[in-house]
Structure 1
Amino acid sequence: MKDSASRRGAVAVVLVGVFASSLDVLIVNIAFPDLERSFPSASLTNLSWVLSAYAITFAALLMPGGRWADQSGRKRAYLTGLALFTVASACCAAAPTLGVLVAARVLQGLGAALMMPSSLGLLLALFPSERRGTAIGLWTAVSGSGAALAPPIGGLLVQLDWRWAFLVNIPLGVVAWFVGVRTLPEVRERSRSVPDVLGILVLAATVAALVAAIVQGPDWGWGGPRVLGLIAVGLLGGAFTVRRAFRHPAPVIEPAILRIRVVALGNLATLLFFAGFGAMISASTLFLTGMWDHSVLRGALEVAPGPVVATVCAVPASLLATRYGVRVVGMCGGAVFAAGGVWWAVVTDGTPDYAASFLPGSVIGGIGVGLMLPCLSTAATLSLPPERFATGTAMNTMCRQVGSALGVAVVAAVLDARPGVSGYHTAFLIMAACGVAGGLALLAIGAERGRIPANGTALSAPATGRTV
């Protein structure tokens, strides 16, 4: 174990990358009006790719990035991703044209897809086994707060210029890279095998097609040929990936991982809950700026209490999950999150009253997020052997991204059909339903516990249900 100062530096390096890669999924959304002014000749569809390019690339390359990190070394993967992300941020900030900006966002997504899968495995290696609950709590608190704090941070930065949303990554990335070279431990899979290159390419294309269909559906039309074509590509690619998983000796998605009940249900719960999370972030921000006509900066700051509460609650919630089990704490978190959505659906109306109607729902929802996030990460990864942590983290993060994209797309469709207060109330109820569904998926884990050893063979063992 490294000395205390070196270990703290290594932990900080990992958390910086986790926060930045989560933040950049949504931070540009708040800068959209400024982008329109900077590129006045660009159509709204072309501008939307500044937002979509990162999300699609990030989601599509998570699983390949996780497999590469497990096999080639998590330190190498993390630092490579951090370097790419930092360079891409500089390119985004200096982009003279919209095409350069979109290309740089793709490179950013590639860097993030290398950082995120390796980050949890590196973090767990820096903590003794009895403190893994704290490590997971830190990871989930930082990754969740990165996504949730994107609107207020973006709102503050774009007051200077939209380019500051990218410039802020550069000094953090440079310092973190140099510290990481000196302090991060190298962790890799003990037995290497030839990767399934074709499977990796097909899976990346499959996820990219599905996420692109979800993200662009509101603009392109859900029944349009482009969206239907992307969905068809995704379905065919998914069928090929499943078939390949059972035939290739080293598939990108190992069936043994998904045979573990805890892992499978943990990823299902993540997909469902983050659909509600995406609905919450988009609907609440649009409600404040659209229905109540608050400024972008004011609306961004008004959503901040929820993410702050979630960050504060995440580490204690992880310790509670270690003691009482993810199914109990996760179900409570899903129910509390849902209560926040129901509060907004019942109490808010067209008359602005932030303190009495919006703020309580934000705090209640934030508590639910803080309770839920560590349970999702624990369920989806901790039953795996250490040499599969990067792959498991990649799968869980991919479910987060796909779920968030689904939630945002559903809210966009609802508000397009019903732009008034009733539409927002429906969006808040969708948020609540997804929270309950995610909690029920964790509750379904029961007392079963599974683990796969290094050779990929699934094992199941009884457990008390108190730890996962």
Structure 2
Amino acid sequence: MPDVRLASPQGKWIVFTTVLGSSMALLDSTVVNVALPRIGEDLDADLAALQWTVNAYMLTLAGLILLGGSLGDRYGRRKVFVVGAVWFATASLLCGLAPNAGVLVAARALQGVGGALLTPGSLALIQASFHREDRGRAVGLWSGFGGIGAAVGPFVGGWLVDGPGWRWVFLLNVPLAVVCVPVALRHVPESRDTLAHGRFDVLGAALGALALGLVTYALIEADEGSVLVVAAAVAGIAAAVAFVAVERHRSDPMMPPDIFASRQFTAVNLVTLCVYAALGGFFFLSVVQLQVVAGYSALGAGTALLPTTLLMLLFSSRSGELAERIGPRIPLTVGPLLCAAGMLLMLRVGEGASYAADVLPAVLVLGVGLVTLVAPLTATVLASVEVTRAGLASGINNAAARAAGLVAVAALPLLTGMGADSYRSADAFEGPFRRSMLWCAAFLVVGSALAFTAVRRPPPDCDHPECRTHCCVTAPPLEGERRAPRELG
């Protein structure tokens, strides 16, 4: 039985190291976007290389995050967490030293592997280490401090890009890992699931990542219209079909098809796909628009979106409580519409845009939409399955959100006619950006319609998540595995 008390020195060290570890992966999911124009200029990279700089990380992270959680359960959560931190820091060092775009993209893919070990591992350590009476408060502290890190991240990223340079956005992870790993080894108790077996769905994970990778390649390189692009698209679809077939016939699948027998779970994941496709496209392109078209510095662009994170940090827990009282249908319908309105307000952001008059209203409306949406979405996902499958449901939802963002970053430049060098010119970038915001708003409207027609109130006795404070815009929060109430006593 876990018996660490939160008030003890060991308990404080556990919270510290898990926050530090999860923040490494969280920050790299957000602050790298701020550095993209400088990366492109320094490495003489075209738009496709910048897309891959974002997507290589998201590809391996989305494809392996479920497997990463299973590895921790089987071989030891602390061990896998430490391996993830070392792996992530090593890949970050490679990113910071990359001499060209090709090396940077490859290193980003390696970073995603480390992120797939770190991201589920940090919360799993909290859940597995603390006494039952302190677990909720420990998760709350982990979530709250992580939210503060998410709020500070774009500011720090922008300052680094404008100051010592974009490479330090990656190199900063190295000293963080140097602190995180020894603390974890000294103060965090090892834990594992004694019922977990040694069989892993490696084939399923490989097919899922392959399908995403091939489809992403086809979308990014579609302008070439070559036989290779067509072959990649066909192969990607074939890999996706094979993934579904493998998951249906394995005895221990990574993504059990029967979990989608819950109409509520399926509906909320469809809403997730729409919402996070829009958010992925928005956060990829908006910081470029602010720098290239509006003339903001990297620091100015990074901090311009800060109110969104602050609103989520301050009010997401209250939004979760409201959804418990009134049900998730209204928040999941209204939230995407508010986010769509915020993105449409970004159409006002052009050359010489005023922050107070043009950018801030869009950011505030978007932030209110996310506050309304994210916590109820997470609670509804967990309430739509048995309590013992909470971790699995959360992992699938998280992976779906990351995959949606991945595809959006690949597809939006193609859909809007954004050329290889558009990000270098205000005139060339502004038109495609505006069309992209219209596409993102359309995704959100579809998500809202799905929520209104398909989402229902969970049973009144369902178990709700302990973690409601959430500030990451790239994916919903992960929830650790939980036992049924009768098993906790």
1:174 counterpart = 2:184: no
CA shift digits 1:153-175 (9 cap, x unpaired): 33211121222111211222232
- Give 2:320's aligned residue: 318
TM-score (norm 2): 0.78
Q: Look up the match of 1:10.
A: 14
The secondary structure found in structure 2 opposite 1:4 is coil
Partner of 1:460: none
- Quote how far apart the aligned CAs of 1:230 are: 2.5
The CA deviation at 1:120 is: 4.1
Q: Secondary structure at 1:352's aligned position in 2?
A: coil
Q: Which runs of 5+ in 1 are unaligned?
A: 452-468
Q: 1:204 aligns with which of 195, 206, 209?
A: 209
Q: 5 Å matches for 1:382-401? A: 383-384=384-385, 388-401=389-402
Structure 2 CA distance for partners of 1:257 and 1:12, relative to 1, 3 Å: farther
**TM-aligned CA deviation for residue 292 of structure 1:** 2.3
Looking at structure 2, the residues matched to 155 and 227 of structure 1 have their Cα atoms a distance apart, in angstroms, of 35
Does the CA contact (< 8 Å) of 1:278 and 1:404 recur in 2? yes
1:259 to 254, 258, 261: 261
Partner of 1:250: 252
CA 1:203–1:258 in 2, change beyond 3 Å: closer, same or farther?
A: same
Partners of 2:91 and 2:110 within 8 A in 1: yes
Distance 1:63 1:192, change over 3 A: same
Query: Which residue does 1:359 correspond to in 2?
Result: 360
Return the offset for 1:421.
5.6
1:183 to 188, 195, 205: 188
Q: Which moved more, 1:442-451 or 1:245-254?
A: 442-451
Counterparts of 2:135 and 2:336 in 1: how far apart (Å)? 25
Distance 1:144 1:221 in 2: 41
In structure 2, distance between residues paired with 1:308 and 1:434: 24
Local SS of the residue matching 1:188: coil
Is there any run of 5+ residues in structure 2 with no aligned partner, and where? Answer: 420-426, 464-489
Say if 2:35 is the partner of 1:25. Answer: no
Assess if the C-alpha contact under 8 Å between 1:69 and 1:77 holds in 2: yes
* Distance (whole Å) between structure 2 residues aligned to residue 188 and residue 343 of structure 1: 48
| 2:204–2:243 CA contact under 8 A, matched in 1 | yes
Question: SS state of the match for residue 447, structure 1?
Answer: coil
Read off the aligned partner of 2:342 and give its amino acid letter.
G
CA distance in 2, matches of 1:115, 1:328: 34
Letter in 1 for 2:5: D
Contact 1:136–1:377, Cα closer than 8 Å, also in 2: no
Deviations 1:274-293 (A, max 9, x none): 11112321343233223323
Paired residue for 2:346, among 344, 355, 370?
A: 344
What letter matches 1:401 in structure 2?
A: R
Aligned to 2:330: 328
CA contact (8 A) 1:149 1:307 kept: no
Cα distance, 1:140–1:254 mapped onto 2, change above 3 Å = farther
Query: Could you say which residue in structure 1 is the equivalent of 2:306?
Result: 304
**How far has the Cα of 1:127 moved from its partner?**
8.1
Q: Which moved more, 1:43-52 or 1:178-187?
A: 43-52
1:79 aligns with 2:89: no
Aligned match of 1:231: 233
* Paired position in structure 2 for 1:432: 441
User: Cα distance 1:227–1:321, how it changes in 2: closer, same or farther (>3 A)?
Assistant: farther
Alignment match, 1:446: 456
Alignment length (residue pairs)? 445
Conserved? CA contact 2:344–2:441, under 8 Å: yes
Check the 8 A contact 2:73/2:196 in 1, yes or no: no
Amino acid at match of 2:88: F
Give yes or no for contact 1:145–1:307 (8 Å, CA) kept in 2: no
Per-residue deviation, residues 181-209 of structure 1 (Å, max 9, x unmatched) = 32356242624263344333323322332
Question: Pick from 251, 259, 271: which aligns with 1:269?
Answer: 271
Query: Structure 1 stretch 29-38 or stretch 173-182: which is displaced more?
Result: 29-38
Q: CA deviation at 1:130?
A: 10
Partner of residue 471, structure 2 = none
The letter for the 2-side match of 1:359 is: L
In angstroms, what is the RMSD of aligned CA positions? 3.6
2:49 and 2:105 in contact (8 A); partners too: no
1:60–1:281 Cα change, 3 Å: same
Residue type matched to 1:17 in 2? G
Tell me how far 1:25 sits from its aligned partner: 3.0
Aligned counterparts of 2:134 and 2:455: Cα–Cα separation in 1: 23
Deviation larger for 313-322 or 241-250: 313-322
Amino acid at match of 2:179: V
- Give, in whole Å, the separation in 2 of the partners of 1:334 and 1:401: 17
Residue 325 of structure 1 aligns with an amino acid whose one-letter code is: G
With over 3 angstroms needed to count, the CA separation of the structure-2 counterparts of 1:150 and 1:268, relative to structure 1, is farther
Match of 2:295 in 1: 293
Maintained 8 Å contact 2:15/2:138: no
Residues of 2 paired with 1:276 and 1:140: CA distance?
25
Q: Does 1:105 align with 2:108?
A: yes
Partners of 2:136 and 2:441 in 1: CA distance: 30
Distance 1:87 1:393, change over 3 A: farther
TM-score (norm 1): 0.81
Deviation at 1:383, TM superposition (A): 4.8
